Structure formats: structure tokens, C-alpha cells
Amino acid sequence: MRGALLVAGTTSDAGKSVLVAGLCRSLVRRGVSVAPFKAQNMSNNSVVTLDGGEIGRAQAMQAHACGLEPSVRFNPVLLKPGSDRRSQLVVRGRATVDVGARDYVTHRRRLREVVAEDLAALRAEFDVVICEGAGSPAEINLRATDLANMGLARMSDVPVLVVGDIDRGGVLAHLFGTVAVLEPEDQALIAGFVVNKFRGDPVLLAPGLDRLRALTGRPTLGVIPFAENLWLDAEDSLSAVVDAPVGRPAPPVGDRWLRVASIRLPRVSNATDVEALACEPGVSVRWVSDPERLLDADLVVLPGSKATVSDLQWLRRTGIAQALVERADEGRPILGVCGGYQMLGATIDDGVESGAGIVAGLGLLDLDISFEADKVLARSSGVGDAIGAGIPLSGYEIHHGRVRRSGDAPLLRHHDGRAEGSVRGAVWGTHWHGLLESDEFRRLLLTEVARIAGRDGFAVAPDTSVAAVRLAQLDLLADLVDEHLDTAAVDALITGGPTPGLPVINSALG
């Protein structure tokens, strides 16, 4: 089997990333060599690849579904928004320049070549490449500069499936309209539809899908049910919804829950860090954006941020900064990760990200940070120090900020003995993302939190493996694909390429 397919969506968050992951895993389970590809991603949720670059988290998750290590080849263009108007442009894993929505256009020709070249190389190396679109091809205002949806499909002659989220309502109109607004040459590549997150009786939906087929000449190749136990998404901060529970934690091992509040910073980065906590039975993790939600939390996590100084200002505006200071005074646990760690310090000297110069931090750690233009990208490993002395730890680093001075004890150490992170009372911080996935460290941290919080009835499970929980999620996705997609038709599309002779929808005014 050889070929490629592009999964586009009627909207952002329609389920493209998970459908691509499910298709990849389903193919891999059938012995096919397959790679994921997203030409251009916009996300602050990134990971560090083995080749020392940075790609969107969703492509790392899809690579994992394929049994591959993340590589910059799977996501050659990444835009990391630092504000509503400007993003850092990461090309083949390396941060290049900051671009505004308009000047991005000037980079387009070069990026087009990068994307076409990288997809061709993957297609030569793997039997199948499953591509993910970005946003929606119905955003025709962006069509002229598009590299990730119909722009990619056209330059590489790849058939397209459009997935729509029925849970939002209007899915039939969305699917029809997504084809109808396109120019005929683009329409020719849209081979079929997938309905995602369906609840209820498929018999009731069937007449709608028949009508959609009559109106568009295109089949719906699957209706994927809403899956209660599926929480893996990893797309980006869209998944960090205020008040929504993170993950699907099982009931506690003991008789009490442990409650974690993670601050929903406006430019939160690597929101997935806290998912590892929610893999533990009896640990409830919620995203919060107002100060009183910190009161009943046993642990508060201040996560990473693409805009440390401006998110720190937001903490002050919302009153969360004050709540954090009071919390630290009371000796109640706070964990800061990367940007969140930086905010906990005494000063931040930032001439790079915000250009603000020297800014006071929350003063909860004896720490001075200064930003450099050069970004640290590293997969790091080391050992525990303040928590879990000597136990092996791993994580990854994506930051411009550097520790200039630290007067606190380190949280952990690199293998070469270098100190990393800080501890002062129950305030912990580190630049490392992914640290909470180190199973033993997480267990010790949660045990310490429960002790300080006096949650005597909470006991941490002895055997949770975050890697195993994530893999089970990917298998669940593949099961959904196998059961609810017409896999024979999808296979035929992958190998046969765009369906010849598909009708064009003409929406002439009459």
C-alpha cells in the first residue's frame, strides 16, 4: 500500500488531529509504514524533537501513534502566537523571525518550497503519509497563501477527507459549504466526509448523509461516535478550557481526591504538562482563571507561557498574583513550569519576548531571569534532588529565558551535576516541561502535596505509567477508526489518489 491522504476540518478542533492519529495507528497496526505530516501548525504546544528542533505537540502525538520519534519533518512550519497579532515563525524546527499576520505572506514562497520538499521526502521514505490540514479550507480569505489545506493538496495532488464536528450543530451545512465555497480545482480533490463526535442513533443521521451525498456527489466514509473515555487531544491551548476537567482520572485509590488548579494563562504553552497529573487515579485537575479557584486547590500549577511578561501582568490584573503570594505565605504548594517558573522569581530582564526590560516577578523564589534571542531547545535528563533525590528524570526545554542567579536549592540536577529549578518551602519551579511524566517523581511530588495539604485519605497509585495511558488513548482512537470508518474506502483513496470526475458544486446566484 502506498499513497497519501489529507484530513481537513470544517473548523478548528473538528477532530483532525485525533482522526489523523487514529488513521496512523490503525495503519501501523496493519503493518503499514506510515508518517504524519502537518505542513503548518499554529500552536504554543510544542515538543523538542530528536533532531534538536521544535514541532507541534499534535504531530509528536501522531508520530507516537506511528511508533516514530517526533521529527521536524512532520511539521516543517510552526507559528507560535505571542499575541493576537504576532507569532514566532519556526521553520524546520528552528525559530526564525517574529511575523505579523500580514508580513507572513512575504515568507510564503520559501515556505511553499519547504513544505513541498518535506512532504515529497516523507512520501519517498514511508509507504503512507497522513497529512493534517489547518483550521478549515473554507477560510477562503486565506486561500491565496494557504500551505496546509487545499494549497498543499493541490501542489502534491493528495485526496482530501473533510471532518466535521456534529456536536457543535450544523455539520451537514458545514460539510456542504466547505466544498461549495471552493474553486472547482480545489473541489475536485475533496473525496468524502467524516462526521465526528456523534451521539445518538445513526439511523436518524442516515437520511442527512444520503442527502449530502446527493447534493455533493461525495460519500461520508464514517460517523465516529462521541467517545466518553477519549481525552487525548493535544492540539493546542484549545484543549485548556477554563473549568473543564483535564483527562479522565479514575476514582481515588484512597478515600480522598487531590485537587489541582492549573492557571489558564492567556498565552499558555505546553498545556499538556498537567495531563500527566490527571493520569493518576484520584487527582482532579482543572484549568482556572480566577483567584478564588486557588483556595480549595491542594496544588496550583503555573504552566509555561509564550509571553511570560504579559501573562505575568495578566496574573496581576486578575488578582491571581496576590492569591499566589498569600498561598506561598501559608506554605501551600505551587509548581511553576518554564514561563510559570520565570514568573515566580524576583526579576525578569526581557529584551526579547516583550521588550519590557527589567520587570519584577512574583518574588516567591530567589531567582533572576534574563532573556536571550537564542532559544534553548533540549531534551534533558538528570536526577531528582529536593524531591526524589537520585531518581532518574527526563524532560524537555523550550525557552529564551535563562537563570542568571538563583539563591534557592535546586529541584533537580542534570546528569553533569548542573542545578536545575528551585525550591523554597512548598514553591517549586523548573524550566523543564514533561517532568511530571517521570512516574516516580510525580508520585513523590503528589505524596508531598497530599502531606502538606493534610489530605490524609489520598494515596497515590503505585503503578501509573503515563506512557502506557497515552498509548491506550492512541489505541482507542485506532479502534474507533477501525470500527466506524469504511477503511476499505479510505485505503482505496490513499492508494488511488484523488477520485476522478467528482462533480463541481456551482453556487450561481439566480
Ligand X SMILES: NC(=O)CC[C@H](N)C(=O)O
Q: Rounded to an integer, what distance in angstroms lies between the CA atom of residue 371 and that of residue 306?
A: 12
338 is catalytic: yes
Residue from 149, 156, 305, 354 binding ligand X (CB under 6 A): 305
- The one-character DSSP state at 267 is T
Residues 6+ apart with CB under 8 A from 324: 294, 300, 302, 315, 334, 362, 364
Q: What are residue 473's phi and psi, to 5 degrees?
A: -65, -40
Q: Least distance from C-beta 78 to ligand X, angstroms?
A: 13
Q: Which residue's CB is nearer to ligand X, number 7 or number 315?
A: 315
- Shortest CA distance to 161 belongs to which of 14, 42, 2? 14
Q: Which residue's CB is nearer to ligand X, number 305 or number 422?
A: 305
Q: What is the longest distance spanned by two Cα atoms in the chain? A: 75
Q: Least distance from C-beta 68 to ligand X, angstroms?
A: 24
- Considering only residues 50 to 69 of the shown chain, the ones binding ligand X according to CB under 6 A are none
Q: Does 339 bind ligand X (CB under 6 A)?
A: yes
Whether residue 189 contacts residue 152, with contact meaning beta carbons closer than 8 Å, is answered with no
Q: Rounded to an integer, what distance in angstroms lies between the CA atom of residue 179 and that of residue 174?
A: 9
Residue from 115, 288, 338, 423 binding ligand X (CB under 6 A): 338
Residue from 80, 264, 306, 455 binding ligand X (CB under 6 A): 306
- The one-character DSSP state at 250 is P
Residues 6+ apart with CB under 8 A from 32: 1, 127, 128
Q: Does 262 bind ligand X (CB under 6 A)?
A: no
Q: Does 9 bind ligand X (CB under 6 A)?
A: no
Q: Least distance from C-beta 338 to ligand X, angstroms?
A: 3
Q: Does 304 bind ligand X (CB under 6 A)?
A: yes
Q: Rounded to an integer, what distance in angstroms lies between the CA atom of residue 434 and that of residue 462?
A: 20
Q: Does 186 bind ligand X (CB under 6 A)?
A: no
Specify which residues 189 forms β-bridges with: none
Q: Which residue's CB is nearer to ligand X, number 104 or number 396?
A: 396
Q: Which residue's CB is nearer to ligand X, number 399 or number 470?
A: 399
Between β-strands 299-302 and 347-350, what pairing exists: parallel, antiparallel or unpaired? Answer: unpaired
Q: Which residue's CB is nearer to ligand X, number 282 or number 421?
A: 421
Please tell me which residue in 338, 400, 431, 484 is annotated as part of the active site: 338
24 is catalytic: no
Specify which residues 414 forms β-bridges with: 382
Q: Least distance from C-beta 341 to ligand X, angstroms?
A: 8
Q: Which three cell numbers stand for residue 412?
A: 533537580
Q: Least distance from C-beta 323 to ligand X, angstroms?
A: 21
- Considering only residues 391 to 430 of the shown chain, the ones binding ligand X according to CB under 6 A are 398-401
Q: Rounded to an integer, what distance in angstroms lies between the CA atom of residue 429 and that of residue 61?
A: 26
Q: Least distance from C-beta 272 to ligand X, angstroms?
A: 12
Please tell me which residue in 64, 174, 400, 433 is annotated as part of the active site: 433
State the DSSP string of 70-108. Answer: --GGG--EEEEESSSSEEEEEETTEEEEEEETTGGGGGH
Q: Does 367 bind ligand X (CB under 6 A)?
A: no
Q: Which positions are catalytic?
A: 338, 433
Q: Catalog residues that contact ligand X under the rule CB under 6 A.
A: 269-270, 304-306, 308, 338-339, 353, 398-401
